[in-house]
Structure 1
Amino acid sequence: MLDNADLGKLIIRLTLGGLMLFHGISKLINGIGFIEGQLASHGIPAFFAYGVYIGEVIAPLMVLLGYQTRIGAIIIVFNMLVAIALVHSHQLLTLGGNGGWALELQGFFLFIALALVFLGPGKYKLKN
């Protein structure tokens, strides 16, 4: 019999990890020039932009596979806090064109990753 709580955790992991991984793949294909520019505009060395590969490729894979899920999720939380601070801070209290919060996507990634930090991976995961 399937455990509903563990199945729910698996669905959350697959959704967060899968959707975040698309952003990482895009950066692998198209580069991180935009992020380097954002960092430089805030006086932060551009080489820190390579950290996005950890936050948007490595961490999502950890979450997807259920390997060190809490660590992967906290990396995604940090990644999203940096993204919001560097690029989206002016949108924190604004509505988007569709009537929702302008930062719905960023908020989704941030808060679902935070939930996984507390929930853990569930039993459907790689053994570690």
Structure 2
Amino acid sequence: MTMNKNFLRNNDFGLLLLRLTIGGLMLFHGVSKLINGVGPISGMLEALGLPGFIAYFSLAAELLGSIMIVAGLWTRAAAVVFAGNMVVAVLMAHAGQIFSVDPATGGWAIELPMLYLLGATVLIFTGGGKYAITRGSLLD
């Protein structure tokens, strides 16, 4: 059995793994908001003087956006919404930690939100790859 030398250089498979990783992991956050409600986020928004109903956009981004990214359905568009949601999350919930290190791990205090944000940003530039439902379109 011979292995194709390009097997380990498959960008489309890498994009599939990226989509499954960031979309799949963020899906847990969306399902949690669906089951438990968006009350805590609504409260944070209202404390900032914003209308609480905006929290439902976070639910949509984390639930529907994640499903779209995993499936590769209009990946670029879903990734824009996903990344925007993460920018708002960082600014609302983690702004005081941007220049902090987690003393327990030694890692950047906001590394998880940034991994989601930067992973989505990669998908904005690359699209979903060959293994996406919609591929080759502007919104892919």
State the TM-score, normalizing by the size of structure 1.
0.95
Q: Gaps spanning 5+ residues in structure 2: where?
A: 136-140
SS at structure 1 position matched to 2:94:
helix
Q: Give the Cα separation in 1 of the matches to 2:99 and 2:15.
A: 30
- Give 1:107's aligned residue: 114
Residue type of the partner of 1:122? G
User: 1:65-84 alignment to 2 at 5 Å?
Assistant: 65-84=71-90
- Give 2:105's aligned residue: 98
Q: Gaps spanning 5+ residues in structure 1: where?
A: none
Q: Give the Cα separation in 2 of the matches to 1:5 and 1:108.
A: 19
Does 2:122 align with 1:123? no
Q: Is the 2:97–2:110 Cα contact (8 Å) retained in structure 1?
A: yes
Q: Give the Cα separation in 2 of the matches to 1:25 and 1:40.
A: 22
Task: Measure how far apart 1:53 and its partner are.
Answer: 1.6
Task: Measure how far apart 1:54 and its partner are.
Answer: 1.6
Q: Which of residues 6, 23, 29 is equivalent to 2:35?
A: 29
SS at structure 1 position matched to 2:132:
coil
- Give 1:59's aligned residue: 65
Q: Give the Cα separation in 2 of the matches to 1:40 and 1:84.
A: 17
In our comparison, the structure showing a higher alpha carbon Rg is: 2
- After superposing on structure 2, the runs of 4+ consecutive aligned residues of structure 1 that deviate more than 3 Å are none
- Give 1:89's aligned residue: 95
Q: Give the Cα separation in 2 of the matches to 1:49 and 1:13.
A: 24
SS at structure 2 position matched to 1:122:
coil
Residue type of the partner of 1:104? E
Cα RMSD for the two superposed structures = 1.3
SS at structure 2 position matched to 1:126:
coil
Q: Give the Cα separation in 1 of the matches to 2:61 and 2:134.
A: 22
